[in-house]
Structure 1
Amino acid sequence: MAHLVIRPLVAGEENLFESMPDPLPQLRQVGYADGIAGGGYRPENTWVALRSDRVVGRAAWLLPPGSAGAPWLERFDLAAEPEVGAALLRAAHEAFGGPLPYHASMPAHWRRRPEVLAVVEAPMAAARIVGLVERAERVRCSWTGTPLPATSGRYTFRPAADASEINALVARIAEPDVLTGVEIARAVAGVDLATDPLAWLGGPAGNWRVALDAGEPVGLAGTAGDACYPLLVYLGLLDQAVRGELLADAVRLLADEGALEVIADVDAHRVRVLAELERTGFRQLRCRIVFDPAEGPESDPAAGAEEA
């Protein structure tokens, strides 16, 4: 690591961060300049590693304005060995007062794409070196207007009556199928989207759909048409058989309101849910692995999730 300089940016040095070529240009994400303009990225929360004045590592921690939580590492790229990335992370963590989570984004099906592995392995190794531990893998999927499956006629669907009905059904659903933006809700507002979605998801009760079988609720879906993208935020079931039809009903609601794309996030190990999304016309866009600070020096990484 001879002649290596590690430091945060100062105001006006945004072009230095962007002087490093984007190693994954196919990955859809907020640009650094846009993040600076919106206030989520800040120069003092952005660090670079330089060799002979060339950026060989860069890391940008994100904290949207008004957030209640701490920043998380959103952009982390290396054109050097993992030890350089580890040195960069250690220096930043010391300045921050301790390690912070890392949300590692990569294209879908990354494990079976050698050209992607060549890019993501070094930053992930650097994160492990400094004690960050893999806790979860999430897959982001997108529906872009493909025809929706026909319904069987077995189920009926209606808007939720009010917040109390939504909360009562959420309390009965142990593990929702779809939770879009769960890690952001937790980091920004300290909200558990699985147990208290209304604390994060605004809008009227009519944005929620209740699936019924012979008049009895068997599923719940929450949508948001006015977020950064139209979102299927929540999908939870009391009867697994309703999954496909409730999913199609929720997407149809957003499409009828003019949505040309609908985004949904699901845990990577939920293979049946991913398969149902694909049958409904969704395609995988990206994966995100969440690394958290280890509880202690001997903590072992969580077992890797099954790839979708």
Structure 2
Amino acid sequence: MQDLVIRPLVAGEENLFDSMPDPLPQLRQIGYADGLAMGGYRPETTWVAVRSGRVVGRAAWVLPPGAVGSPWLERFDLDAEPEVGAALLRAAHDALGGPRLYYAAMPAHWRRRPDVLAVVQAPMAAAQLAGLVEGVERLRCTWSGAPLPATAGRYAFRPAADAAEINALVARIAEPDILTGRETALAVGGVDLATDPVGWLTDLGGWRIALDAGEPVGLIGTAGDACYPLIGYFGLLDEAARGEMLVEAVRVLVDGGAREVVADVDAYRVAAVAELERTGFRQIRARVVFQPQV
């Protein structure tokens, strides 16, 4: 690695970052120049590895303006051996004051696609060599107009009365099925979407309670005026209600004008993933979380 140069960018070097071809153009990701213009990306938190005048590795940490958390690694591309990527990450971690979370974006069903595996294996190995530990995989799914399945009509739905009622139900739901934008809520607002969703999904008009014979069996929090219409919180007290609740969540957003609905779900929640697909959602990407060792 004698001819390898690892360094942060300086202002005006956006073209250097973009000189490396995008290895996964099928992913819907914000462009680096746009990220700079919006203030999330910064030259000093963007690093490159240059070999013989060519960028062979790039890493960009992001922190939106006004965020209360620490920058996280959003873009990490590598056209070199994993050891080069690990050296790049270690140098940046030293400058950042220590390792940071890495959200590795992948195309949908990436584990079953040899062409994608050939691209992502090197940066994933580099992250592990740099001391990051692979954690949970989260799937992003979208509904974009598919016919909704018929429901038995067993459950009734009503708006939440107030934040206190929502919080009381949240306290009874150990693990919500869907938490869309959980990472952003934590990094930007310092809000844990699983335990304090009203702290992030503040419009109480987007909340619905599922009822069986008058008793609450589930809770839905939607947002139609975020970056895109989404199911922000979806928690069950009765798993049998999952299908009807998903249909109701989509219906609430469509009635508000949505043409597309986004939902994030952990890959290990097999029943939730299957019900999303039955409701007409399709996977568009995955994000694998790499965490610093504790």
What TM-score, normalized to structure 2?
0.98
Gaps of 5+ in 2: none
1:76 matches 2:76: yes
In structure 2, the residue matched to 1:212 is 211
Could you tell me how far apart the structure 2 residues matched to 1:206 and 1:7 are? 48
Give the CA RMSD over aligned residues.
Answer: 0.8
Q: 1:151: Cα distance to partner? A: 2.2
How many pairs were matched up?
294
Q: Any idea what SS the aligned residue of 1:249 has?
A: helix
Could you report, residue by residue, the CA deviation over 1:123-166 in whole angstroms, capped at 9, with x for unpaired residues? Answer: 00000001101121101100001111122121111111111111
Q: Is the 8 A contact 1:186 1:193 kept in 2?
A: yes
Deviant stretches of 4+, over 3 Å: none
For structure 1, the 5+ residue unaligned runs are: 296-308
Residues 95-110 of structure 1: pairs in structure 2 closer than 5 A: 95-110=95-110
Alignment match, 1:227: 226
3-state SS of the aligned residue for 1:117?
helix
CA contact (8 A) 1:177 1:236 kept: yes
What does residue 249 of structure 2 align with?
250
Q: Distance in 2 between matches of 1:210 and 1:270?
A: 22
Displacement of 1:199: 1.1
In the TM superposition, 1:57-72 aligns within 5 A as 57-72=57-72
8 Å contact 2:106–2:285 — kept in the other structure? yes
User: Is the 2:153–2:244 contact (alpha carbons within 8 Å) kept by the matching residues of 1?
Assistant: no
Once the two structures are superposed, residues 186-213 of structure 1 have per-residue CA deviations (whole angstroms, 9 ceiling, x without a partner) of 222222111111111221x220011111
Q: CA deviation at 1:258?
A: 1.1
Distance 1:134 1:34 in 2: 29
Overall identity of the aligned pairs, in %: 76
Q: Which residue of 2 aligns with 1:44?
A: 44
Q: Give 3-state SS (helix, strand or coil) of 1:70's partner.
A: coil
Q: 2:269 aligned with 1:270, yes or no?
A: yes
**In structure 2, what is the Cα distance between the partners aligned to 1:153 and 1:202?**
29
Q: Quick check: 1:161–1:206 contact (8 Å CA) kept in 2?
A: no
Q: CA shift at 1:97, angstroms? A: 1.2
Residue-by-residue CA offset, 1:240-292 (whole Å, 9 max, x unaligned): 00101011101111011111110000011001100000000000011101111
User: Counterparts in 2 of 1:113-152, with a 5 A limit?
Assistant: 113-152=113-152
C-alpha displacement of 1:183: 1.7
Q: Secondary structure at the match of 1:45?
A: strand
Which residue of 2 is the match for residue 56 of structure 1? 56
* CA distance in 2 between partners of 1:215 and 1:202 (Å): 25
